Each structure stands twice: as C-alpha cells, then as structure tokens.
C-alpha cells in the first residue's frame, strides 16, 4: 500500500492517509483518483476498482468521498501542489491494517478505504 504522511493543521498533527484530493468541476471520481494518485505519490496504475463511496459527515455536510483501489503501479513523478508537504510510506497491506489497529492510522477515509479494500483482496 502506498500511503501519504501529511501535516493536518485542523488536528495539529501529521496523519498517515491514503492519497486523496478534491474533484475538479466536471471530473469523474475515477479520473480524480488516478490523477491524485500520480500527483501525490508519483505512481500511475494499470487498473483501478471502486471500493466504496460514502458521506463524510451527513449530519452537517453533503461531502461524499469515493475510494478506489489501484493496482499494477508504475513509478512516474509526483506533481505536488505548492503548499503540499507529503512523505510517501510504502507498506504491505497487512501492515497498513495493523496500523489501524495500533492507532497509527486515525483518518476516517483511510480506515474505511483500507477495510473496504480488504473485502476486495
């Protein structure tokens, strides 16, 4: 699994997360997932499958996330935005799941995405 470490000001902490980003106007979620994968990690993928989609906090937000599992990765080059400070962590899938259990991964989209991907693997 390719995970990204990034400082999140809202929680005053560095979090370990799956690559993610914001949909551009008119962009399909699958295309966004592939774009963000390459921008943040420097990898393209041969195949990509939808894991899940869900509302982040339906009590006060309409934000919906779409999570994909990318396979057949090829190393290219990152294209980080100017304000992005990201470190890449590459770990076996079972290690990523263990990081959820240990509390090292605390990001909800990452937890949901990894658990959902476990059902596909």
pLDDT in tens, 61-70: 999 999 999 9
Cβ neighbours for 96, distance < 8 A, ≥ 6 positions apart? 1, 3, 105, 114
| Bridge partners (DSSP) listed for residue 115 | none
Q: Does 82 participate in catalysis according to the annotation? A: yes
Structural domain of 61:
2-120
Among the options 38, 40, 63, 82, which is catalytic?
82
* Chain position carrying tokens 């699994």: 1
| Distance of alpha carbon 67 from alpha carbon 53, whole angstroms | 6
Mean pLDDT (the chain, rounded):
94
pLDDT of residue 79: 81
Enter the pTM of the model. Answer: 0.91
Q: Is 54 helix (H, G, I), strand (E, B) or coil?
A: strand
Q: What is the largest CA-CA distance in the chain?
A: 40
CATH code for the domain of 47: 3.90.79.10
Are 102 and 66 within 8 A, CB to CB?
no
Q: What is the pLDDT, as a whole number, of residue 111?
A: 97
Number of domains the chain contains: 1
Phi and psi at 112, nearest 5°, equal: -65, -40
Hey, is 40 helix, strand or coil?
Answer: helix
CA distances from 98 to 27, 40, 95, 103, 118 (A): 33, 23, 5, 9, 12
């Amino acid at each position: 699994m390719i995970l990204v470490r990034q400082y999140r000001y809202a929680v005053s902490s560095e979090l370990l997360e799956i690559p993610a980003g914001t949909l551009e106007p008119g962009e399909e979620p699958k295309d966004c997932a592939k774009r963000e994968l390459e921008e943040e990690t420097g990898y393209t993928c041969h195949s990509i499958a939808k894991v899940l989609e869900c509302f982040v906090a339906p009590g006060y937000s309409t934000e919906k996330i779409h999570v994909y599992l990318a396979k057949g990765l090829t190393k290219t080059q990152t294209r980080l935005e100017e304000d992005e400070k990201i470190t890449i962590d590459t770990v076996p899938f079972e290690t990523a799941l263990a990081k959820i259990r240990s509390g090292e991964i605390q990001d909800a989209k990452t937890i949901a995405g990894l658990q959902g991907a476990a059902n596909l693997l």
